[in-house]
Amino acid sequence: MKYEWILFDADETLFHFDAYAGVQRMLTAYGVEFEEGHFEEYQVVNRPLWLDYQDGRITAAQVQERRFANWAERLQVSPLTLNSAFLSAMADICRPMEGAVSLLDSLRGRTRMGIITNGFGELQQIRLERTGLKEHFELVVVSEVVGVAKPHPEIFRHALELMGNPAPDRVLMVGDNPDSDILGGMQAGLDTCWVNWHGHAAPPGILADYEVRSLDELEEILSLKSGCAGR
């Protein structure tokens, strides 16, 4: 195995993140007759917040406080109460992505593994425990805790320090988001693998070392080729 460590993104790389179902479950619990427009309304607020968070313009706490502010006012509860209810709903419906369990099982004992995510700490350990995947990972690095989000170099430096500062080219970063996972890994000097589920074109200037359409494909590459020949 070429890689001493493999770092994985969490949402939509290892775990399904069905925000629609999560918002639906949260609002239904508050007696709201959920409609598709409710989710669209949420995303109008949520998407720009995540871009601002990724670019370092706002904090994780501000994302959690602002994304449900409108609904908090309507339901007469605090935004953070709704945010916790949403994260709880997401934990309840969490399931691994197709091929994730097989991939992680095949890598266990052959390399060391960690997670580096822009998600929130409240959700990470719960779903690792509920999916039975907790024992696969030696570290979980959460942007909320570190104080910066991918692709900022600091979160990758922090992860490398926790890993004992291995040579960057002995670390593979695997993720579905080229703008945070792949760009961040590139800037940190890591090898990168883009899990391009839907066959999108890469953003200008972002080129992963490897590109796969499924985790099964990545498992085959890592199983058959000790050096993992690139594209």
pLDDT tens profile 134-163: 999 999 999 999 999 999 999 999 999 999
Is pLDDT at 227 greater than 50 in this prediction?
A: no
pLDDT tens profile 52-82: 999 999 999 999 999 999 999 999 999 999 9
Return the SS3 of 117.
strand
Q: Find residue 111's DSSP bridge partners.
A: 108
Reported as a pLDDT band with limits 50, 70 and 90, residue 226 is low
What are phi and psi for residue 147, nearest 5 degrees? Answer: 100, -5
pLDDT attached to residue 231? 40
Please give the domain boundaries of the chain with CATH numbers for all domains.
5-16+95-224 (3.40.50.1000), 19-93 (1.10.150.240)
pLDDT attached to residue 223? 86
Catalytically annotated residue among 9, 11, 176, 181: 9
9 is annotated as an active-site residue? yes
Taking CA atoms, 39 is separated from 46, 58, 76, in Å, by 10, 22, 19
Is pLDDT at 211 greater than 50 in this prediction?
A: yes
pLDDT attached to residue 34? 93
